[in-house]
Amino acid sequence: MTRALKVLLISAVLLLAGCSALQFTYNQADALLAWRVDDYFDFDARQKHEFKQRLDRLLAWHRREQLPEYARFVQSAVERAQGGLRRDDILWFVDGLTQRYRLIVERGYADAADLLATLNPEQLRAVSKEFAKVNKRFIDEHELDGSLEQQKRARLKRQLDQISDWTGNLTRAQEQQVETMLEAVPLIEPLRHQDRMRRQREFLELLKLRMHRAEFGEKLRQWLLDWDRGRTPEYERAAAETAERRVEFYLALEKILTPAQRERALKRLHGFGNDFKALSERPGTAASADWLADKISG
């Protein structure tokens, strides 16, 4: 799925925020999302107002009905991981994230379709321009214009940063072990980039149907839910192999962590659960997009 629709349906807010920043991020979700969505669609004043109203309803539902369940899900994940990770634990967790994303889509796709139906031709051109920008960032981040070794180094750096964010600093020996283990995971980023652009083209084609409300709404729903439909056979095979090798990678990774590093990661995951629970028990205090822009630019 495109990053724009991820933003519109707020899954990224819930699953990508750091534990220490999660409550702030969630409470400012309306401002954060309005600011990011506007990068794609360049909404006019009326559309911004409509977006805020629909997003407020989605966030209220999510806070009331989903966050308590998220807290229980995270607590179950912590309990399962206490005795050491197993393959089934990782698959259970990934499936849990997928199912929770699907619930957000089912709840939000109709509002998304209504809002997208108001886009004018100039705003469609803005979407295409933003896609070009995010594609350039993806190429730069993953060093896709570089050699195979450069791409591997970029992947290793991202992986080490992600791991240390959860476990604290790794030793040099651990970093070398991670590098060795990562060699078994296919370097899928070039194929992933091509598939991202395919999805973007599909989205732009889908927007041509936006005036045919019933057809557009259902096709948008399917596009959001079935993001793997339409992949090339090559990417389909590579994605399946990568998913399996990733499971093996994380099982091997756990074995090289110290008890202190494991405890830190579990405490951070437990912190997500506490934040979800706290967020569900009190109303949010949403900031304005202007306030957020001032904070970012200042």
User: Three-state SS string across the chain, please?
Assistant: CCHHHHHHCCHHHHHHCCHHHHHHHHHCHHHHHHHHHHHHHCCCHHHHHHHHHHHHHHHHHHHHHHHHHHHHHHHHHHHHHHCCCCHHHHHHHHHHHHHHHHHHHHHHHHHHHHHHCCCCHHHHHHHHHHHHHHHHHHHHHHCCCCCHHHHHHHHHHHHHHHHHHHHCCCCHHHHHHHHHHHCCCCCCHHHHHHHHHHHHHHHHHHHCCCCCHHHHHHHHHHHHHCCCCCCCHHHHHHHHHHHHHHHHHHHHHHHHCCHHHHHHHHHHHHHHHHHHHHHHCCCCCCCCHHHHHHHHHC
Residue 203 binned pLDDT confidence (cut-offs 50, 70, 90): very high
User: What is the percentage of the chain residues whose pLDDT exceeds 90?
Assistant: 58
The pLDDT assigned to 36 comes to 67
pLDDT, the chain, mean: 83
Q: What is the mean pLDDT of residues 123-130?
A: 91
Residue 67 pLDDT greater than 50, yes or no: yes
**pLDDT above 70: percentage of residues in the chain:** 82
pLDDT band at 278 (very low <50, low <70, confident <90, very high): confident
How sure is the predictor about 42, in pLDDT bands with cuts at 50, 70 and 90? confident
Count of structural domains within the chain: 1
- Determine phi and psi for 178, rounding to 5 degrees: -60, -45
pLDDT in tens, 224-264: 998 889 999 999 999 999 999 999 999 999 999 999 999 99
pLDDT tops 80 at residue 80:
yes
Q: What's the Rg (C-alpha) of the chain?
A: 20
Mean pLDDT within 87-95: 91
- Angle at 71 (CA atoms; ends 66, 77), nearest 5 degrees: 120
At residue 208, does pLDDT exceed 50? Answer: yes
Tell whether the model's pLDDT for residue 181 goes beyond 60.
Answer: yes
Return all residues near 72 (Cβ < 8 A) that are at least 6 apart.
273
Query: Residue 97 has which token pair?
Result: 């994230």
pLDDT at 98: 86
Please tell me the number of Cα atoms within 13 Å of 255 on its side-chain side: 9
Q: Is 192 a residue whose pLDDT tops 90?
A: yes
* pLDDT at residue 276, as a whole number: 87
Per-residue pLDDT at 231: 94
pLDDT, residue 22, reads 52
Q: Give the mean pLDDT of 129-144.
A: 94
* pLDDT of 55 above 80: yes
Query: 5 or 41, which is more confident?
Result: 41
Write out the two tokens for 166: 């959860």
Confidence (pLDDT) at 39: 75
Please state the rounded mean pLDDT for residues 15-35.
49
Backbone dihedral region for residue 283 (phi beyond 0: left; psi -120 to 50: alpha; all else: beta): beta
Residue 187 has pLDDT above 90, yes or no: yes
pLDDT in tens, 212-221: 989 999 999 9
Which residue range(s) make up the domain with 191?
3-297
